[in-house]
Structure formats: C-alpha cells, structure tokens
Amino acid sequence: MKLNEILGTEFPIIQGGMANIATGEFAAAVSNAGAMGLIGAGGMDADTFRENIRKCRTLTHKPFGVNIMLMHPQAREMAQIAAEERVPFITTGAGNPASYIPMWKEAGAKVFPVVSVVALAKLVARAGADGVIAEGTESGGHVGELTTMALVPQVRDAVD
Ligand SMILES: Cc1cc2nc3c(=O)[nH]c(=O)nc-3n(C[C@H](O)[C@H](O)[C@H](O)COP(=O)(O)O)c2cc1C
C-alpha cells in the first residue's frame, strides 16, 4: 500500500512536526495543500495544544496529525489529549512512545513514531505502530549518530 493511501492524503508527504512553528493553522494549510500537516506540540503547553487541534479542525476537513515531543514535561498529558481529541495521525520525537500506542490505536489513530535507531523501530513495531519515520543525525535535532542514508536500509530490513 502506498503512503498516501495509508494516510488518506493526495501526496505521500508528511510535514515535519516543528516545535514553535507548526501551529494548527500551519498544519491545516499543509493538509489543505494535499500533504499530511502536523501540529508540533513541542513549543506548546497542554491547553494550547488542545486549542491548536480544535483550531486545525475548523480550518481543514482533510487528515492532519500531531507530533508529540516526548521530552516535553507535559508529554503524557498531550498523549492523552491526542487520544481524547481523536487526532487521526500521531508522530512522536525524542523518545520511546510504546506505552502510549495502545491508547492511540484504541482512539483510531495511525501512529508513526520517529526513530533514530533500529532497536527503537523494532520496539514500536512490537507495540503496534503502523509505521516508522527513520531519521538520522542530520534531521533537525534528533538524537542518534547514524545518518539517514545509513539508517533507512537497516530499519527497512528490521521491521515490516
Ligand atoms: C525548527 C524545527 C523544529 C523541530 N521540532 C521538532 C519536534 O518538536 N519534534 C520532532 O519530532 N521533530 C522536530 N523537528 C524535526 C522535523 O520534524 C523533521 O523530522 C526534520 O526536520 C527532518 O525533516 P527535513 O529533512 O524535511 O527537515 C524539528 C525541525 C525543525 C527544523
């Protein structure tokens, strides 16, 4: 199955979940343009995150998602909000989201964690992730030492 078919978007493109940049309005603009827009929770508090999800819903009828930065002190609350608000697509950064995945799946979301090592890809796959986004050390602040070009084929071999 092609990525855009899995996402329900016109194009097989997922916008980066950028803290302090990717608001609900930003994500809606990307989704309206035919890609998967993401609200970057990183620079927000939990209440602002919920407001941005609701704002995004008023601006687009297309699929959109969120990126939850797992080092955020309110990450657990944000994970809960994403489930409560029935966000259709969830990505994560800077950590291991395995404990949240069953709750997100229960809420009907597709879950694609960002992974920077093979071990995390295997772990989230076992926890029920629908896909992984493999990003190397050059990708805007992610932990990990492999480059994307070295990482992607290893992840490709390690998970289905
Ligand atoms: C300003 C900025 C903020 C970012 N914030 C986050 C973040 O909060 N969470 C995350 O998982 N990735 C974050 N990223 C990484 C992007 O989501 C994306 O994965 C990365 O930039 C690689 O995509 P690119 O090669 O298209 O830039 C950020 C990137 C930028 C440039």
Tokens 């343009």 belong to residue: 33
Cα 47–chain centre separation: 19
Q: Quote the ligand 1 centre to 55 CA distance (angstroms).
A: 22
pLDDT one-digit tens code per residue, 83-96? 999 999 999 998 99
Instruction: Examine the pLDDT at 140 and tell me if it is beyond 80.
Output: no
pLDDT one-digit tens code per residue, 18-69? 999 999 999 999 999 999 999 999 999 999 999 999 999 999 999 999 999 9
The beta-carbon contacts of 123-129 under 8 Å, at least 24 apart in sequence, are 123/96, 123/98, 124/96, 124/97, 124/98, 125/159, 125/160, 126/98, 127/97, 127/98, 127/99, 127/101, 127/102, 128/101, 128/102, 129/101
- Take atom 22 of ligand 1 and give the residue whose Cα is closest: 139
Structural domains of the chain sorted by starting position, each given as residue range(s) with its CATH number in brackets:
3-158 (3.20.20.70)
Residues in contact with ligand 1 (CB, 6 Å cut-off)? 16-19, 21, 40, 42, 67, 69, 93, 114, 135, 139-141
